[in-house]
């Protein structure tokens, strides 16, 4: 097992824990060294529902290890991923959920490549359902 630092929820608040044990890789999983992980409203869900564990659900990083020989080609790749536990130094992620990127793109940009597009689709769908005549987007920190 790998020991790491992570932001955890203890069901009431969150804190940095410097001695988390990452479980061994399961079948079809890759070990990702997390380089960036954004903050989205859904990241706070564990606190609202009283769920413990490592927080964060989206990030970007480098594939360091894979469980299965057939996925060896992923080692060293820059990827975006979605999984609970993204606010940590490392994350075990299903390989079929990884989105590969070239290594000339900033990890910060890669890190919000999955949730933000779904948010936009939801906004457009709601605006069409409500027959809105315009959508105003404030990019905030994006």
pLDDT one-digit tens code per residue, 1-44: 567 888 888 777 888 888 888 889 999 999 999 999 998 888 88
Identify the DSSP state of 131: T
Q: How many CB atoms lie within 10 A of CB 71?
A: 17
Q: What is the pLDDT of residues 85-134, one digit of tens each?
A: 899 999 999 999 999 999 999 999 999 888 777 777 888 888 889 998 88
SS3 65: strand
**Predicted local distance difference test score (pLDDT) of residue 141:** 54
Q: Which residues pair with 7 in a beta bridge?
A: 16
Averaged pLDDT, 68-97:
95
CA–CA gap between residue 104 and residue 9 (Å, rounded): 33
């Amino acid at each position: 097992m790998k020991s790491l630092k992570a932001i955890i929820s203890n069901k009431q608040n969150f804190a940095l824990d410097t001695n988390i044990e990452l479980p061994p890789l399961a079948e079809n999983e890759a070990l990702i060294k997390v380089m960036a992980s954004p903050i989205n409203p859904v990241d706070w869900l564990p606190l609202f529902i009283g769920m413990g564990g490592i927080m964060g659900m989206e990030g970007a990083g480098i594939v360091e290890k894979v469980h299965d020989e057939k996925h060896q080609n992923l080692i060293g790749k820059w990827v975006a991923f979605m999984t609970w536990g993204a606010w940590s130094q490392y994350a075990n992620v299903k390989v079929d959920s990884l989105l590969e990127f070239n290594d000339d793109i900033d990890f910060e940009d890669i890190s919000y490549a999955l949730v933000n597009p779904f948010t936009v689709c939801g906004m457009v769908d709601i605006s069409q359902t409500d027959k809105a005549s315009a959508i105003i987007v404030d990019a905030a920190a994006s």
